[in-house]
């Protein structure tokens, strides 16, 4: 009994240290029937928490139904409600281990939600933590993987687990060894079950437990303590890196759409490589929170793309995301996402805006195209002038009364002011380094089949104001309020 009392105090101290539970809180406890989960149930019960026991039958062994009955019976002896679930855990595209884990946690979340419980407790021990850290090391994880399992986790962040809003997972026994749990159960007279699948070598974790760890202990008998210490170090390292990401994010990553982030490459280049990796990984998770693993190679390839001067138009990442070249920066977004390029004049859609007279055409993101008629008496002073790339005067005598503002079409050409020949509008945009993302919805002013103004670039020679001009339109592209003048767009 003295050993049991000692373990109660150890678990209670861990709960307080990591703020896992409030005194007397209602908790759903996942109980498989093994020594670890029975030890957890007994400890939480004697520490005064109000428990509901949950057991999931994976139906992988003939004896699994009787094990579920045993857990329900034992819960009854404690005077606790038992919730029993079952299901087919085999899932295409997932290992049996992973499929069983996800089915089990979906059951636990559903059981907690039906009872209005906000906390699920599981009996993961220090041995499980050691195996997890080693498994992540073998897979090439960074600090967030090498820290192992956290004592407390918001299940809304759990990959692939829908409907877990407001539910937390706690692990009060991460500093308790499996041997301690067995001794506690024996001291308390609790008969724990042994799952033969825990020795099945087809499961990766079992091979770590029964083959690799014993082999490593021949090189360092304290390898388990070393791995646990590594996890504790990585917890602190991850917290520091997370804080640095939080502080650096506003200057480097700009949300420009629910599914698009602008990454400022020049600011990113000034950060240490470790922080660069963390920022890009955070950006990917921001758009794809359900991704399980964002690997080292993907992040390195993305950083190499971001930091090169003459980068290609696009780079595939993962989860359907791409990095797209955007002037000196880049945009992270899904492939072929209909994004209107921020900081540039863009049509609100890939459609025509017809304007027969004067007024304002509203473009995307607060940009505007203003059209005003200029008096005939002002024509002499306008001859040969152009106010700038974003404000022009156009001779409309030969254009008729109908103007169209539309996106670029294949084959569009313009005869720039002062030139005898025409050029492709597409070539103008490339030569002036208009980002590729901004080109498809760049507004063109067209009369009939003739492009008479490409805002920011050129007006047509055919629209020149001359001595014989009698009708002049003043056109000006105006940026949103608070964004300065349009000159900054180019």
Q: What is the pLDDT of residues 198-208, one digit of tens each?
A: 777 888 889 99
* CB-neighbour burial class of residue 464 (10 A; exposed 0-12, middle 13-18, buried 19+): middle
Mean pLDDT, the chain, as a whole number?
88
Give pLDDT, residue 256: 86
Q: How far apart are CA 435 and CA 48, in angstroms?
A: 63
Give pLDDT, residue 442: 92
Residue given tokens 């109000």 in the structure block = 50
Classified as helix, coil or strand, 199 is: helix
Give pLDDT, residue 394: 85
CATH of domain 2-219: 3.40.50.620
Q: Which tokens in the block code for residue 302? A: 């993305």
Position 364 confidence tier, pLDDT thresholds 50, 70, 90: confident
Give pLDDT, residue 208: 93
E strand or H helix at 372, and its extent? strand 368-374
Position 33 confidence tier, pLDDT thresholds 50, 70, 90: very high
Q: Span 141-145, mean pLDDT?
A: 86
Give pLDDT, residue 353: 64
Q: How far apart are CA 442 and CA 145, in angstroms?
A: 44
Give pLDDT, residue 355: 59
Class of domain 241-334: alpha beta
Does the pLDDT value for residue 4 go beyond 80? no
Give pLDDT, residue 2: 54
Q: How far apart are CA 102 and CA 197, in angstroms?
A: 17
Domain span(s) for CATH 3.30.465.60 in the chain: 241-334
Does this model's pTM top 0.75? no
Domain span(s) for CATH 3.40.50.620 in the chain: 2-219
E strand or H helix at 316, and its extent? strand 314-316
Does the pLDDT value for residue 446 go beyond 70? yes
Q: How far apart are CA 26 and CA 45, in angstroms?
A: 11
Helices 126-138 and 223-252: crossing angle in degrees, nearest 10, is 60
């Amino acid at each position: 009994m003295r050993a049991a009392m000692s373990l109660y105090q150890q678990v209670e101290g861990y709960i307080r240290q990591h703020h896992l539970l409030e005194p007397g809180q209602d908790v759903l406890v996942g109980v498989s029937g093994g020594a670890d989960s029975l030890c957890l149930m007994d400890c939480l019960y004697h520490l005064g928490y109000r428990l509901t026991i949950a057991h999931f039958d994976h139906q992988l062994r003939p004896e699994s139904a009787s094990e579920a009955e045993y857990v329900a019976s034992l819960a009854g002896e404690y005077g606790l409600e038992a919730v029993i679930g079952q299901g087919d855990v085999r899932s295409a595209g997932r290992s049996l281990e992973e499929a069983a884990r996800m089915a089990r946690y979906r059951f636990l979340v559903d059981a907690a939600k039906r009872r209005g419980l906000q906390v699920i407790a599981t009996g993961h021990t220090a041995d499980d933590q050691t195996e997890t850290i080693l498994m992540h090391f073998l897979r090439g994880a960074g600090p967030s993987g090498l820290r192992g399992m956290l004592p407390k986790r918001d299940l809304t962040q759990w990959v692939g687990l829908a409907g877990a809003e407001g539910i937390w997972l706690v692990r009060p026994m991460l500093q308790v060894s499996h041997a301690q749990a067995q001794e506690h159960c024996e001291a308390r007279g609790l008969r724990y079950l042994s799952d033969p699948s825990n020795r099945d070598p087809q499961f990766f974790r079992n091979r770590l437990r029964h083959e690799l760890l014993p082999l490593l202990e021949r090189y360092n008998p304290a390898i388990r303590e070393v791995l646990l210490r590594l996890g504790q170090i990585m917890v602190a390292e991850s917290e520091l890196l997370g804080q640095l990401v939080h502080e650096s994010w506003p200057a480097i990553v700009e949300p420009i759409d629910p599914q698009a982030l602008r990454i400022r490459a020049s600011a990113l280049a000034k950060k240490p490589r470790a922080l660069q990796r963390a920022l890009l990984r955070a950006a990917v998770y921001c758009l794809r929170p359900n991704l399980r693993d964002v690997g080292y190679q993907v992040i390195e390839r993305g950083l190499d793309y971001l930091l090169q001067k003459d980068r290609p138009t696009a780079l595939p990442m993962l989860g359907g995301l791409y990095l797209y070249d955007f002037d000196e920066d880049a945009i992270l977004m899904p492939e072929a996402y209909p994004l209107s390029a921020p900081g540039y004049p863009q049509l609100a859609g890939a459609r025509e805006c017809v304007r027969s007279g004067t007024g304002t055409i509203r473009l995307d993101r607060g940009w505007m195209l203003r059209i005003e008629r200029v008096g005939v008496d002002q024509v002499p002073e306008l001859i040969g002038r152009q106010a700038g790339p974003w404000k022009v005067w156009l001779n409309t005598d030969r254009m008729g009364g109908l103007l169209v503002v539309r996106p670029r079409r294949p084959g569009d050409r313009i005869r720039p002011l002062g030139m005898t020949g025409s050029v492709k509008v597409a070539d103008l945009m490339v030569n002036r380094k208009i980002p590729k993302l901004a080109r498809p919805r760049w507004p063109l002013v067209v009369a009939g089949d003739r492009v008479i103004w490409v805002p920011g670039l050129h007006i047509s020679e055919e629209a020149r104001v001359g001595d014989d001009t009698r009708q002049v339109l003043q056109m000006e592209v105006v940026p949103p309020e608070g964004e300065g003048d349009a000159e900054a767009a180019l």
